[in-house]
Amino acid sequence: MTSFEKTATNTVRKTLRAPAKNVGARADTKPQRLSVRRQVYHGVMRTIMICSVIICCIPVIFVTGYVMIRGIPNITWNLLSTSPTYLSGNIGILPDILNTLYIILATLLFVLPLGVGAAIYLNEYATNYRVVKVIEYAAEILSGIPSIIYGMVGMLFFCQFCGLQTSILAGALTLVIMNLPTVMRTTQESLKAVPQSYREGAFGLGAGKWRVIHTVVLPECVDGIITGCILSVGRILGESAALLFTAGFAHVVNGVIDGMFRSGATLSVALYVYAKERGEFDVAFAIGAILMILTLIVNFAAQAVGRMVQRRKNR
């Protein structure tokens, strides 16, 4: 062995031994205690965080509990299964429930393909960075516009210019514009979270662009798409201002096809009418409780679908 090899070997041995000595030294040392000032600081910050959590939870628990306590006792089979008749004084919300389901289905039928498709193009196909940033900035602005402005635009464009009149379809198209930025941005953020190595590996196996997207990228983005769907449904269930301008407030049972081209009140619009114009607060609280229950059902159903897709993907 030459002198150079001996020197290199000794250097490597010293390097390998050094961490062992340091680890032993660290193990022997005792953890330093925090000073009184730092202990007080950590205690104060922890108290502030706990108080913040409590302050955030109390309004949610109070509002949810109050609406449920006031609303659930007033939910009857007659309320759910009949239409309102002004001559006999009967109050029923069956048309409002059906109109709500119609408008949810119609909105999702348009907004999901458009939002997911736009997100795929911006993240996977678009090459002009400035154009992408402009579109993203425009989507953020659209998501912050008050809903009543969407209602006015929808009334002028869909109801009058397009000739749809006051109808469920006009309200659904207005809600599509309102929810499109949300679906697009949530899907786009999910696409950005997919590791680039997944795409490179698929390209290395000879897969084409679209095959990589729908077999590798999109299965990893199911959670983001479901999140956008849940947010959209929640906004649809709670929207009333835009639908007052576009969908109207008729309380008549219609079929799916006929109902799309006729005026109809959703549950949120009916809640406003019963509470503000008629003073039927018990019915209004019952509708509020139904809306909360529907929101929970949609959330659980979407999460179940996401878990099912995730299990199928992991097989």
More confident residue, 223 or 67: 67
> Cβ(170)–Cβ(247) under 8 Å?
yes
d(CA 271, CA 286): 9
Domain assignment of residue 98, given as a range? 75-314
Q: What is the pLDDT of residues 83-107, one digit of tens each?
A: 888 777 788 888 888 999 999 999 9
The pLDDT of residue 31 is 58
pLDDT per residue as tens digits for the range 232-242 = 888 888 888 88
Residue 116 maps to a domain: yes
3-state helix, strand, coil in the chain (%, to 5): 80, 0, 20
Alpha helices in 72-205 (DSSP H): 77-81, 94-120, 129-143, 147-154, 168-193, 196-204
d(CA 191, CA 204): 20
Neighbours of 150 (CB within 10 A): 21
Q: What is the pLDDT of residues 281-297, one digit of tens each?
A: 888 999 999 999 988 88
Residue 270 neighbours by CB distance under 10 Å: 25
Residue 85: strand, helix, or coil: strand
* Within-domain flag for 59: no
Residues 190 and 308: their CA atoms lie apart, in Å, by 18
pLDDT for the residue 170: 92
Report the number of distinct structural domains present in the chain: 1
> Does 217 map to a domain?
yes
Residue 151 lies in a domain: yes
Question: If you average pLDDT over every residue of the chain, what do you get?
Answer: 82
Is 57 within the bounds of a domain? no
Question: What is this structure's pTM?
Answer: 0.78
Mean pLDDT of 171-187: 90
Give the domain CATH number at 209. 1.10.3720.10
